[in-house]
């Protein structure tokens, strides 16, 4: 078999599981550090007497850095390799995390969060690409969803750790913990994760592919052909060429709306809970329950997506059910138990669907464009993640209450569901039909 057929048709090996598991560990780092500011924001607001509109800008700083990092590092990952790009991104995260506690003003805090965000945004397209390229296509949605569960799991751990650290050591201790986590991950990625075999296949680098195939245990069945069917030059413009434009634009819309929704929830649930009289522990645990629901939901939805012919219906429907759960959060902020319960259900449906759309994006693009495609989709999501908290801060400054704030977040989940259903109908279904026709024509020629 050639390399592509080997990865897609053989049982997944322990080595592939190790690579995907380590990518999940990097995702945990991303989730921990990305949501740290939401955990400490109530303490910073109280200590520095910051207005809601200003803290919205603080929320947006790291996300703006993430937008820039996702586009630049995604492009570098497709040209220079996933692994070296990922290592550079993790190093930036560690440096930024350790610099954040030294912030003495809003300006220096914004700069530190922006720098950290570049690393966090740059890591994401590359570890997603690595995990998807070591996954067989028939199980990619499930495996990538499982891997990306590391992101909300990191946020859950971050919430629980923050709830303990903040009362004892103050808000700066959360960022120190994030920096230590990043430094611990760096040598594991350097020594245990190889370059993507499919990426090396695009470079016709058989000598580097052979040790990887050997570690997977399939050297005896590899015919030496890298089998990289889709070769080409990676660029942002190529995402809109060769019939990819409708799918690319819909993926950007889905990512924008779902991240708008998600970061409205992550950043404003703790603030609204504190406003309603709940303690910092209850406020942070509510965000942890949102992320825990996302983990359970993404695993379930990933399995359903792999086992059905219409994954868009599964994900679109989940977004829409989640919209109702999100709207209910605004009526539950006065009770810790009610808030945690509704946040968990919102995570199961809306956040679970959002995590699974990462696999949808990875499946849509060919190997030579995958990191660039994921990076640009993540960048569109980062724009939504910036706009969401800032927009929420403007609504609160105008006197908007919790019910209206979370109803708006629910509307964005509804819109993301509609976009997923549209992509399934207008892009994925015609693509599947074209693939079947191509396969049938190939079989006919071979029989002739």
CA distance 52 to 392: 9
Question: What confidence score (pLDDT) does residue 229 get?
Answer: 46
Residue 309, φ and ψ in degrees, nearest 5: -85, -10
Q: Where are the alpha helices (DSSP H) in 276-367?
A: 280-307, 311-329, 336-346, 352-364
Give the predicted TM-score (pTM) of the model: 0.79
- Is 421's pLDDT higher than 90? yes
CA distance 287 to 195: 35
252 part of a folded domain:
yes
CA distance 434 to 79: 29
Whether 176 and 101 have beta carbons less than 8 Å apart is answered as yes
DSSP class of 221: G
200 part of a folded domain:
yes
Domain extent, residue 315, equals 3-437
365 part of a folded domain:
yes
Q: Mean pLDDT, to the nearest integer, of 286-297?
A: 88
Residue 185: closest CA among 21, 22, 70, 19: 22
401 part of a folded domain:
yes
446 part of a folded domain:
no
- Is 44's pLDDT higher than 90? no
283 part of a folded domain:
yes
Question: What confidence score (pLDDT) does residue 277 get?
Answer: 78
CA distance 148 to 374: 13
Q: How many residues does the chain have?
A: 448
Most confident of 74-88, 371-385, 393-407: 74-88
Whether 175 and 36 have beta carbons less than 8 Å apart is answered as yes
Rg (CA), the chain: 22
CATH value at residue 354:
1.20.1250.20
CA distance 116 to 111: 9
Q: What's the mean per-residue pLDDT of the chain?
A: 84
**CA distances in angstroms from 126 to 6, 82, 194, listed in the order given:** 22, 5, 12
Other CB atoms within a 10 A radius of the CB of residue 445 amount to 8
Question: What confidence score (pLDDT) does residue 234 get?
Answer: 59
- Is 323's pLDDT higher than 70? yes
CA distance 163 to 155: 12
101 part of a folded domain:
yes
Number of domain units in the chain: 1
Residue 287: closest CA among 155, 145, 402, 148: 155
122 part of a folded domain:
yes
Burial 114-149 (b: 16+ CB within 10 A, else e): bbbbbbbbbbbbbbbbbbbbbbeeebbbbbbbbbbb
């Amino acid at each position: 078999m050639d390399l592509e057929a080997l990865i897609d048709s053989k049982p997944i090996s322990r080595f592939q599981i190790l690579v995907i598991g380590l990518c999940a560990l990097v995702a945990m780092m991303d989730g921990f550090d990305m949501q740290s500011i939401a955990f400490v924001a109530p303490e910073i607001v109280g200590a520095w007497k910051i207005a809601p509109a200003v803290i919205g800008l603080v929320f947006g700083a790291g996300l703006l850095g993430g937008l820039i990092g996702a586009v630049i590092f995604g492009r570098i990952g497709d040209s220079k390799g996933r692994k070296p790009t990922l290592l550079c991104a993790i190093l930036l995260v560690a440096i930024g995390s350790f610099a954040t506690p030294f912030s003495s003003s809003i300006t220096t805090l914004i700069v530190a969060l922006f720098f950290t965000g570049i690393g966090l945004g740059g890591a994401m397209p590359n570890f997603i690409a690595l995990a998807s390229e070591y996954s067989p296509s028939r199980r990619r949605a499930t495996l990538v969803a499982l891997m990306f569960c590391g992101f909300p799991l990191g946020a859950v751990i971050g919430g629980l750790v923050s709830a303990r650290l903040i009362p004892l050591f103050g808000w700066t201790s959360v960022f120190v913990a994030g920096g230590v986590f990043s430094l611990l991950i760096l040598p594991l990625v350097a020594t245990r994760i190889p370059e993507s075999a499919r990426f090396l296949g695009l470079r016709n680098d058989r000598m580097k592919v052979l040790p990887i195939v050997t570690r997977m245990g399939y050297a005896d069945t590899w015919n030496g052909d890298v089998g990289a069917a889709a070769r080409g030059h990676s660029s942002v413009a190529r995402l809109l060429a060769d019939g990819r434009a409708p799918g690319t634009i819909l993926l950007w819309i889905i990512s924008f709306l779902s991240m708008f929704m998600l970061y409205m929830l992550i950043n404003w649930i703790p603030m609204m809970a504190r406003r309603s009289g709940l303690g910092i522990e209850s406020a942070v645990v509510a965000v942890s329950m949102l992320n825990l629901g996302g983990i359970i939901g993404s695993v379930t939805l990933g399995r359903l997506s792999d086992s059905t012919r219409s994954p868009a219906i599964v994900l679109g429907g989940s977004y829409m059910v989640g919209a109702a759960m999100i709207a209910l959060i605004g009526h539950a902020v006065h009770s810790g138990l009610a808030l945690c319960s509704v946040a968990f259900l919102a995570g199961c449906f809306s956040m679970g669907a959002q995590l699974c759309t990462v696999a949808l994006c990875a499946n849509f693009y060919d190997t030579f464009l995958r990191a660039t495609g994921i990076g640009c989709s993540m960048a569109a999501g980062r724009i939504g993640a910036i706009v969401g908290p800032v927009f929420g801060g403007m609504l609160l400054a105008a006197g908007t209450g919790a019910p209206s704030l979370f109803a708006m977040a629910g509307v964005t989940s509804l819109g993301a569901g509609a976009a997923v259903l549209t992509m399934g109908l207008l892009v994925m279904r015609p693509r599947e039909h074209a693939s079947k026709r191509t396969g049938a024509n190939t079989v006919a020629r071979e029989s002739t």
